[in-house]
Structure 1
Amino acid sequence: MASVSAAQIKWRPPEWMRETSAIARFAESAGIARDDYASLHGWSISRPGEFWSHLWDFAAIVGEKGGAAYVPDALAPMTGARFFPEASLNIVETLLREEDETGIAVVETDETGASREVSRAELRAAVARCAAGLRAAGVVAGDRVGVILPNRLECLVTFLASLAIGAVWTSCSPDFGTAAILDRIGQVRPRVLIAQPQVRYAGKPVDISGPLSQVAAMMAGLERLVLVGPGEVETDLAVTAWEDFGTHAPLAYARLPFDAPAYILYSSGTTGAPKAIVHRAGGVLLQKVKEHLLHNDVRPGDRFLWYTNTAWMMYHWVVGVLACRATLVLYDGAPVLKGKDGLDCDPLWREVERQRLTHLGISPRYLAAVAEAGYRPGRRRDLSSLRWLLSAGSPVAASQYDWIYEAVKPDLGFASISGGTEIMGCFLLGSPLHPVRRGKLSARALGLAVNVFDERGAPVLERPGELVCTEPFPSMPLTFWGEDGDERYRKTYFEPRPEIWTHGDHAELHVDGSAVIHGRSDSTLNPGGVRIGTADIYNVCDKIAGIEDCVVFGRPLGDDEEIVLCVKMQEGRDLDASLAATIRNDLRRQCSPRHVPAAIYAVGAIPYTVNGKRVETAVRAVATGREVKNLGSIANAACLGEYETLSSREAL
């Protein structure tokens, strides 16, 4: 059994936070001791109807709850269960509840430092106008509205307006190419597309009017194009300027069933066409409110910024803070800028100080870049308002916890969170009741029966296995869009273990309730029959001087496989025998002899998806002579060419 050392605890929530937190009040209101998380979690998964119904009331969800909160299905315990089958609601009624017309709902800011504040009344008026424009364009409940917009106010308004009238909202980021957009939004045939032809990123203007012209010409079912800002798009479609779209009108909400579709997100798509995941309105609302109110300690008046593009699930997720009467801070642009004196890592931390942020969300890759640049935000900026730092996208290395508490601030709650686009939420995350343990995710999410199964299908502690969820929860997808959507959905998550959600993460649960994510199961290494998570190798390499980035995969070797590590070196640094020896020694010492790569190569670039995730599966495919089925999902697909010839090169 792994030892639990007090030295591994980086932070404990102060008493005032625990006592005044919503999660403590929620537990007490359910008849459970305020600090007894184990009992609270046990109740939340053993009595799902009681838990989710109590959450509805506690969070003051707007709508008609109806009778039974949970209807089980003995024949299909996961896929057949129903939550709130008699309920009717609209997500936006809860997000824009009319309690404080003058309070600031949104702050829009960007890499240039420009900023504007929008009150709740102003946001509601903008949403009402856009909703009127959508209705005038013929959009009705169930129709799709697509957007290709940066993370600015206009995107948020389209999100809220579409949901307000019962339409289904779906998005791509402006940095997606034509093929990537058509592979995603093109699947669902939107009636209206709202796009911005000219954007700015990393200090440079970017004109995407050409790709938008191609998209408009090739997207089936599209009737109208709405353009935000300057720029022209060549199209035969009806085109409306954003400022002319809609008229002033009262904001009316279409109350729909709990399971009505709300928005569509997309899988990474590196092994085929991206899966179009349809999310149910009531499920995602309850999931987001639960996580922000109870787990993320979001309070009225807080200010929350998550650095994200508008295609990633974190955009949809962070909008949920509006339901907590907090201020949503939107940031458009690059988080790190190139200046004449090197990298400028200040933009996000500038906003912490300027906007008095209480919550900041980032990624491990961003943390690594800032740390590598030698930037220490706690010395450069006033971060006294910041209570929580959160991270998602990939596992956070143990050494990054050290950096956070040394370089940012010691009195800070940190939550590494892990879930997915598929559930619009988290399986593992933090809370104001839990300490932060070095290298660990703090707790299993309320309402989700998270476990780790070994190869026998038995639950295990202190050993890696498959992350699963054994009981239903309301934010499971409604379906996948398109032909045989239900069948494809069930095959993806329930084929390995019938009626048990298998998420695809290689994980480990600990006796103290914390957890570790070792990497994606489809990229798990298996030398000598021993499963190894790729994250373990990345965490070690991230600390080695001279390495800018890396990717690791398993290369077939007879009936076995060998570990291959490809490293991108920092400018002015070379991979040599000495560095290769350092890499191997560090992996052997910090992980195990099984983690030591058989071959190490220097490469010019590491492939990432358009959503910013390493693509180990694509690297393995091209390196072993197989085809990558969907290059449009890879942001820098051209770099895969050098991986095709790895086997002919001499490795270190």
Structure 2
Amino acid sequence: MASDIVWTPSSTWIDAANMTRFAQSVGLGEADYDTLHRWSVSHPGDFWGAVWDFAGMIGEKGEIAFEPPPEGTMLGAKWFPQARLNFVENLLRGPDETLAVIESDETGITRRITMGRLRDDVARIADGLRDVGVGPGDCVGGVLPNRLEGLVALLATASVGAVWSSCSPDFGAAAILDRLGQIAPKVLFATRRYQYGGRQHDIGERLREVVAGIPSLTRVVLTDGGIGDEIAGASRWEAFGSPSSHLRFERLPFSQPLYVLYTSGTTGKPKAIVHGAGGVLLQHLKEHQLHCDLKPGDAIGWYTNTAWMMYHWLISGLASGATIVLTDGAAIPKTDDGSDAGLLWRLAESAGLTHLGVSPKFMHAVAEAGYRPRDRVDLEKLRVLMSAGAPVAPDQYDWTYEAIKDDMMFASISGGTEIIGCFLIGSPTLPVRRGQLTCKALGQAVQVLDTRNVPVIGRKGELTCTEPFPSMPLTFWGEGGDKRYFDTYFSQRPGIWTHGDLAEETINGSGIIYGRTDTTLKPGGVRIGTSEIYATVEKFPEIADCVVFGAPNGNDEEIVLCLQPRADAGISRELAARIRKAIRETASPRHVPHRIHAVPGVPYTLNGKRVESAARAIMIGEIVKNLDSLSNPEVLDVYRVLGRETAL
């Protein structure tokens, strides 16, 4: 419906879009997006080969783009089997004087790094890695903040053909060992201290525990000065490698392992997902250039840490000739006057950001603070705002165009660590609709299936993908990795990737995400997404945060809503009644919670995602298997004693 449209690209915008030029290059310049998408999934070799050419990928492409998998499966497809390339060679392109990286923290911009300087730093660290015996197939780990050193270590690792895997320094020792300990890295790059919330945090003791727990390490490189005599084999960052080294790239097969990323680990040990260099690069080039309209000279930033897939997505922006902006510290740091909701927006102005990525939680916090970016900073250069990590509520679309900028593309995107990219994403040639993800990503055969495994439109179902794509994982790391990979994504529907999201495809071809299927509510046997409840509750100024989940009640399930009040507020029966009434009116009677509890906090993963499953498990007396995957496990104590008799 026209009333759902909150932004429409102008003809000038559409004519200048990379998406338009790409469609013209494949002979579909007059076709609509749906036709282009159908072509991209029905002719995968032609499509991905065209992306390679359009993006100017560096390497030997070979004559074969795609060898299909055996009949009845998505596994076993071969992409560019004759190709030879190096991931970093594609990122470190352009003149020496080009601005490659802007580094920032809670004080603002701290460094501006040219491509020449970045190449020199990568060459030196790569030389150091070669000197200690690191080569193709070896693993290198990082416990680093989102600063220049982390980027250089990653690029140096990939330039020699080794595999990179990183954790954020705010992870606990057990959480780091659960991840990096699986892959037996030869070298670890780490910091002994990091800044967050205006404070310096010392993790020296934690780091010693990590080093002691990874016997495969032959070298530890400390990025923050000193060598730490207590850490055997430690080297200074400044002394690692020769400053006169020349940059060399190992060109390897398309499927050469590049990254190991990890699932959240809330239901057990984190799964270590192996991604290939060619698939990651091709997927990101497609998403950046076609869906996000990223162009040479643009500046792109995403508020993330080094453990989240959006960090890896961000740095691939270098391959499109863009400047990438690294952000370290808190997004909304505490100040003497309260909280600074303007930090990232001032960065957008000072860095000249054309593309900015945030989360719905951040947007909600900015709105609640009464901060209107358009009234406080100059966002003339900002063309694209993106959000990931959770569904964006419909009213947040309105706030975006009212409080930030009325002429820009807003893209709520959805994908995951598993594909290091997106299934649903934005497009610079399509309108933005309130509460909806604009389109299926090109090259991704996305379908919403019902319980019969039949595609449905206008009804909720499982988000799936029915055809292979290049950024599918190579495997899960470790013994039995192929089987664990299959069991996770293909056991429910053999031959079809089941992503784990409750979703809806609209008649416009856009999508709506209602939440994860493992947290889907089922009162009376009817599946209900959590996003609709969250969207309603977040409108109440008395509520700081909330979590909703289903709990068994006889042979049925009841909805439990836990509310964290603001510091100066409480949860009264009157407020609980108003919240129930609002949920009934904005969602449906089936969404109304049976129980409402006041809690002091809501559990989150280390990557900042709300964890309904942990709250539910504790409340019904089950064991949360991996508390180390949570950033605030202490808040769960109160959920142990939540009883029906104390509910509001």
TM-score, scaled to structure 2 = 0.99
Match of 1:365 in 2: 361
Structure 1 residue 457 and structure 2 residue 453: aligned? yes
Counterpart residue number, 2:335: 339
- After superposition, the C-alpha distances for 1:419-455 in whole angstroms (9 at most, x for unaligned) are 0000010000101111110111000000000010001
Match in the other structure for 1:535: 531
- Matched residue, 2:379: 383
Q: Deviations over 1:552-574 (max 9, x none)?
A: 01010111100000000001111
- 1:213–1:233: 8 Å Cα contact kept in structure 2? no
Partner of 1:167: 162
* Alignment-mate amino acid for residue 117 of structure 2: E
2:241 corresponds in structure 1 to 246
Q: What residue is the counterpart of 1:194 in the other structure?
A: 189
Q: Does the 8 A contact of 2:125 with 2:152 survive in 1?
A: yes
Structure 2 gaps, min length 5: none
SS at match of 2:300: strand
Q: How does 1:245-644 map to 2 (within 5 A)?
A: 245-247=240-242, 248-644=244-640
CA distance in 2, matches of 1:35, 1:608: 44
CA positional deviation for 1:233: 4.2
* CA deviation after TM superposition for structure 1 residue 638, in Å: 1.2
Letter in structure 1 aligned against 2:353? L
Would you say 1:19 and 2:15 are equivalent positions?
A: yes
Pick one of 85, 101, 105 that aligns with 2:100: 105
- State the one-letter code of the partner of 2:197: A
Bigger drift between 333-342 and 550-559 goes to 333-342
Q: Which amino acid aligns with 2:154?
A: F
> Superposed, which structure 2 residues align to 1:120-269 within 5 Å?
120-230=115-225, 233=228, 235=230, 237-247=232-242, 248-269=244-265
Alpha-carbon displacement from aligned partner over 1:37-71 (angstroms, at most 9, x marks no partner): 11110110000000011111111111111121111
C-alpha distance in 2, partners of 1:144/1:392? 28
Q: Distance in 2 between matches of 1:409 and 1:543?
A: 21
Q: Which shifted more, 108-117 or 492-501? A: 108-117
Q: Is contact 2:41-2:445 (8 Å) kept?
A: yes
SS of equivalent residue, structure 2 residue 245: coil
Letter of the 1:105 partner, please give it.
Answer: A
Q: Which digits, 9 at most, give the CA deviation of each residue in 1:456-499, with x for residues without a partner?
A: 11000000100000000010000000110000000000000001
How far apart are residue 74 of structure 1 and its match?
3.0
CA distance in structure 1 between the aligned counterparts of 2:548 and 2:31, rounded to whole angstroms? 42
AA paired with 1:461? I
Q: CA deviation at 1:73?
A: 2.4
Is the CA contact 1:523–1:553 (under 8 Å) kept in the aligned structure 2? Answer: yes
Alignment-mate amino acid for residue 93 of structure 1: E
Write the letter of the residue equivalent to 2:104.
T
Contact 1:364–1:391 (Cα < 8 Å) also in 2? yes
Shift of residue 77 of structure 1?
A: 3.1
1:17 deviation in Å? 1.7
Three-state SS of the structure 2 residue aligned to 1:565 is strand
**What amino acid sits opposite 2:513 in the alignment?**
I
CA distance in 2 between counterparts of 1:93 and 1:585 reads 57
Secondary structure of 1:158 counterpart = helix
- Contact 1:198-1:230 at 8 Å conserved across structures: no
Please state how far the C-alpha of 1:253 moved relative to its aligned partner: 0.6
- State the 1:517 CA deviation: 0.3
Q: After the TM superposition, which residues 38-117 of structure 1 pair with which residues of structure 2 at under 5 Å, given as runs?
A: 38-97=34-93, 99-117=94-112
3-state DSSP of counterpart to 2:396: helix
Asked whether the equivalents of residues 299 and 322 of structure 2 are also in contact (C-alpha less than 8 Å), the reply is yes
The SS at the match of 1:64 is: coil
Q: What SS does the aligned partner of 1:475 have?
A: coil
Amino acid at match of 2:62: G
Cα RMSD (Å): 1.1
Cα shift at 1:609: 0.4
Q: Is the 8 A contact 2:564 2:599 kept in 1?
A: yes
> Is contact 1:192-1:224 (8 Å) kept?
yes
Output the amino acid matched with 2:584.
Answer: R
Query: Is this contact kept in 1: 2:595–2:644, CA < 8 A?
Result: no
Asked if the contact 1:551–1:606 (Cα under 8 Å) also holds between the matched residues in 2, the reply is yes
Pick closer, same or farther for the CA change 1:124–1:22 going to 2, 3 Å: same
Contact 1:24 1:34 in 2 (8 A): no
Deviates further, 106-115 or 637-646? 106-115
For 1:535, give the aligned amino acid: S
Letter in 2 for 1:185: L
| Structure 1 position 114, deviation (Å) | 3.8
Structure 1 residue 648: deviation in Å? Answer: 6.0
Give the partner amino acid of 2:486. R
Distance 1:129 1:171 in 2: 20
- The one-letter code matched in structure 2 to 1:263 is Y
**Residue 511 of structure 1: CA displacement?**
1.1
For 1:389 and 1:35, how far apart are their aligned partners in 2? Answer: 26
- After the TM superposition, list the runs of 4 or more consecutive aligned residues in structure 1 that deviate by more than 6 angstroms: none
Summarize the Cα distance change of 1:323–1:170 in structure 2 as closer, same or farther, 3 Å threshold: same
Unaligned ranges ≥5, structure 1 = none
How many pairs are equivalent?
647
Report if the CA contact (8 A) 1:427-1:448 is conserved: yes
Q: What is the rounded CA distance, in whole Å, between the counterparts of 1:232 and 1:577 in structure 2?
A: 58
Per-residue Cα deviation, 1:291-341 (whole angstroms, up to 9, x for no partner): 001000101100011000010000000111111101001111111121222
Q: Aligned-pair distance for 1:519? A: 0.1
Q: 3-state DSSP class of the match of 1:147? A: strand
Distance 1:192 1:606, change over 3 A: same
* Aligned counterparts of 1:648 and 1:295: Cα–Cα separation in 2: 48
Is the 1:25–1:34 contact (alpha carbons within 8 Å) kept by the matching residues of 2? no
* Preserved CA contact (<8 Å) 2:457 2:504: yes
Show CA shifts across 1:98-135 (max 9, x none).
x3221101111111124221111111111111100111
Cα separation, 2, equivalents of 1:17 and 1:135:
47
Single out whichever of 7-16 and 190-199 deviates more from structure 2: 7-16
In structure 1, C-alpha distance between the alignment counterparts of 2:335 and 2:303, rounded to whole Å:
20
In 2, distance between residues paired with 1:586 and 1:556? 24
Q: Deviations over 1:247-286 (max 9, x none)?
A: 1211111111111100100000000000000001110110
Shift of 1:236: 5.0
Q: Contact 2:227 / 2:236 at 8 angstroms: preserved in 1? A: no
Residue pair 2:73, 2:494 contacting (<8 A) in 1 also: no
Question: Structure 1: which amino acid aligns with 2:156?
Answer: A
Instruction: Spell out, residue by residue over 1:326-368, the C-alpha distance to the aligned partner (whole angstroms, 9 max, x if none).
Output: 1001111111121222211111001111111101100001011
**Corresponding residue number in structure 2 for 1:646:** 642
